A and B are shown apart, each in its own frame.
Chain A
Amino acid sequence: MSRPILEVKNLSTSFFTDDGEVKAVRDVSFELYPGETLGIVGESGCGKSVTAMSILGLVQRPGKIVGGQVLFKDRDLVKVSSEELRQVRGRDIAMIFQDPLSSMNPVLRIGFQIDEAMKAHNKIQKDDIGPRGIELLKQVRVPDASQRIKDYPHQFSGGMRQRAMIAMGLSNRPEVLIADEPTTALDVTVQAQILELLRDLNQDMGTSIILITHNLGVVAGLCKRVVVMYAGEIVEEGPVEQIFENPQHPYTWSLLRSLPRVDSSKHERLRSIEGLPPDLIAPPPGCEFNPRCPFRIEKCFSEDPDLVPIGNAQHVACWVTMTRAFAEMGAATITDTRPGAASGVRPPKDLLEVVADLRTLAEPEVLETLTADPELLERLSGEPTALERLNADHPAVIEKVIETLSDD
């Protein structure tokens, strides 16, 4: 394969709020190759959009890129001056957004907003200002373009507005187009038209596209490669077909299961993922997906897995992986997808909970011994079943447990 046109390396972006640092994007790396369409998927709030905005330096206060590189044509866009970055924006890398109504200035004419994008980079002769805009609108299949160019955004329908946004994005013939949920705010039939438009542009003009969406169906129709994000991190990456056929991360697997399919039987229920994405101010220790994962093992609570290659250009960040979940936990026939349901692993208690439990179970002097030894407590809390056993056998056993624990 040729050299990537855009390379994101170990990118981290945080928002510094009154409540603490929200680590919206953490250590994200991926490449985009010329002419390629890359999908980035995940639920709302998983860091997709922030990743996209970080690429163009559009993250506003209190947000800030705290680490990593965005390499575009041998330049690190994180480091370049604001003027250099401005020249890249819209000219080399363009971006279109989710809601075309709120993303277009309501008080300026469509044509003006398109022309302005070209004038910002001196890519247009004075005489071409009007005609070029009409040409662009025609290219994105806005009917009656020469009239409609004089309209204001509110006079356009949702789909037409998104076309105009795309026209604006393409006006400088950028090498990369970042489309952030381009179809989410649109009707289903219009969605398909917009996606077709993007596909044609990719094929005819050779524009590389990063498509950000929570909709795996959109990815399937348009992308060659997909990056799955969860809680600000990449959890899985690989060729689209492979990921769809053989997802290795339980999160990807859950996302795919929640996708309605035409070929699924009517009686099969759609399965949403239990729970919510984690609080990014204080993410859970270990793998961030552990509070929602049916296949979690004890290691998932203590160590965060790295993204590792598993062959055939597929990468996954999971201690279990679906191959093992299918082999050992019966994932193929699972109906109960509550956290830990398949593996039977409960989350470890935190120290305060352990002490509280012990207070109800143990005799005072035993408790004293235990609380005097923080290391021991630590081990107790990391051993989810220890307290269950204590519960069963009552005080006499506790001393034994303590003995055995202190012996190791």
Chain B
Amino acid sequence: MATTVVTPVPTTEYSGGTIAREQVSLWRDGWRRLRRNKLALAAVIYLALLVLVAIVSFFWTPYKPNFIGACDTYQTPSPAHLFGCDELGRDSLSRLMAGTQVSLFEGVGTALIVLVVGVTVGLIAGYFRGVVDAIISLIINIFYGIPTLLVALVLVVLLGQGLVNIMVAISATIWMDMARLVRGQTLSIREREYVEAARASGAKSGKILFGHIFPNALGPIIVQATFIIPVAILTGAFLSFLGLGVPPPQADWGGMASEGTAAIRYVTHIVMFPSLALSVTLLAFNFFGDGLRDAFDPRQRR
């Protein structure tokens, strides 16, 4: 044979039977995966109950949550006071129920603030690039270089211990992750053909940002936002534990755990229930977030 030219033969990639499967709607497929994830499902049920408790606690609790003298101080759990009473003789179950409001507000409220700030900043940095991006990236880097919980502490002291101020303070500690994520997504999406096409046809920046780029980055943004909730609740609990949370007498889990820790030599029920509530709630949010990410983030698929 005279054939010595070594050239790759044109080959066709083997694709098997997977092409049709990839075309199944990402979202529907995602929901299917999420529903199959039993841990995530259990988490959703728990969180739904938690929201219910929070709503109910606005109208009814076994005792008034801030009523001092509902029972004896440090009273251990009994039929009349299922979770016992705290150092001021307030009913712990009622306070635990009322504390749900604080945690959920802090979690969801902070996630919303971070969503608005992070998405806006990230979109701007990623879309306009250049000097704007450089400045925003510098600010993000500075925030990564400081102990953010301490920033939150200073901010709470500075702004005052209101619920909204606390949310703002917590947001200041975690907005960078969202901004960085959205910036990265924007940088990659803005180079795609359909964005090029929109730009070429004279669409305004705002239209491109919110009409094309934002919807396409929505999946990772939602997943990220879900993970912000537990982090925000945790940070809020940290602040309360250090005495810089929502002002007394409002009940909240971090503050209750702090009071319980102080009384730990005498009774353990005061610290136990809020700690448990906090841990289970964070666990539920994390399981839910994991389920959501596994279901909707295509990079996680194997």
Residues of chain A whose beta carbon lies under 8 Å from any beta carbon of chain B: 19, 22, 43-46, 183-184, 188, 191-192, 195, 214-218, 220-221, 240-241, 244-245, 255, 258-263, 270, 272-273, 275-277, 279-282
Contact = CB atoms under 8 A, between A and B. Distances in A.
A4 to B, nearest CB: 25
A184 B7 CA distance: 9
Given A215-B6, A220-B4, 12 more contacts: A19-B17, A19-B18, A43-B11, A44-B11, A44-B14, A215-B7, A220-B1, A258-B9, A262-B2, A262-B5, A272-B12, A277-B14
A43 B14 contact: yes
A102 to B, nearest CB: 18
A261 B15 contact: no
Contact of A191 (B2, B6, B9, B11): B6
Q: Which 5 A-B pairs have the closest CB atoms?
A: A45-B14, A279-B17, A217-B6, A244-B1, A220-B1
B8 to A, nearest CB: 6
Interface in B6-36: 6-18, 21
Nearest to A45: B14
23 contacts: A43-B11, A44-B11, A44-B13, A44-B14, A184-B8, A188-B7, A214-B8, A215-B8, A217-B4, A217-B6, A217-B9, A218-B6, A240-B1, A255-B9, A259-B3, A261-B2, A262-B2, A263-B2, A272-B12, A275-B12, A276-B12, A277-B14, A279-B16
Contacts of A260: 5, 7
Contact of B7 (A195, A217, A263, A282): A217
A167 to B, nearest CB: 22
Contacts of A272: 10, 12
B11 A195 contact: no
B167 to A, nearest CB: 43
Contacts, number: 80
Given A241-B1, A276-B15, A281-B16, A258 B6 contact: no
B30 to A, nearest CB: 17
Given A217-B3, A244-B1, A259 B14 contact: no
Interface of B: 1-18, 21
A18 to B, nearest CB: 10
A190 to B, nearest CB: 10
Contacts of A240: 1
A90 to B, nearest CB: 28
Given A261-B2, A262-B2, A263-B2, A216 B9 contact: yes
Contacts of B5: 217, 260-262
A282 B16 CA distance: 10
Contacts of A263: 2-3
A241 B12 CA distance: 26
A214 B2 contact: no
A153 B18 CA distance: 34
Nearest to A263: B2
Contacts of A282: 17
A260 B7 CA distance: 7
Contacts of B15: 276
B17 A281 contact: yes
A167 B26 CA distance: 47
Contact of B12 (A43, A191, A215, A279): A43
Contacts of A216: 3, 9
A184 B12 CA distance: 15
A261 B4 CA distance: 8
Nearest to B7: A260
A44 B2 CA distance: 25
Contacts of A183: 6
Nearest to B302: A18
A195 B3 contact: no
A195 B14 contact: no
A241 B1 CA distance: 7
Nearest to A241: B1
A370 B11 CA distance: 44
B10 A270 contact: yes
B6 A280 contact: no
A137 B4 CA distance: 27
B109 to A, nearest CB: 41
A245 B2 CA distance: 11
Contacts of A188: 6-7
A316 to B, nearest CB: 19
B3 A192 contact: no
Contacts of B17: 19, 279, 281-282
A45 B21 CA distance: 19
A333 B16 CA distance: 32
Nearest to A20: B17
A22 B2 CA distance: 38
Contacts of B4: 217, 220-221, 262
B7 to A, nearest CB: 5
A259 B6 contact: no
Contacts of A262: 2-5
A191 B16 CA distance: 30
A138 B193 CA distance: 49
A40 to B, nearest CB: 14
B8 A221 contact: no
Nearest to A194: B6
B19 to A, nearest CB: 10
A255 B9 CA distance: 8
B10 A192 contact: no
A195 B16 CA distance: 32
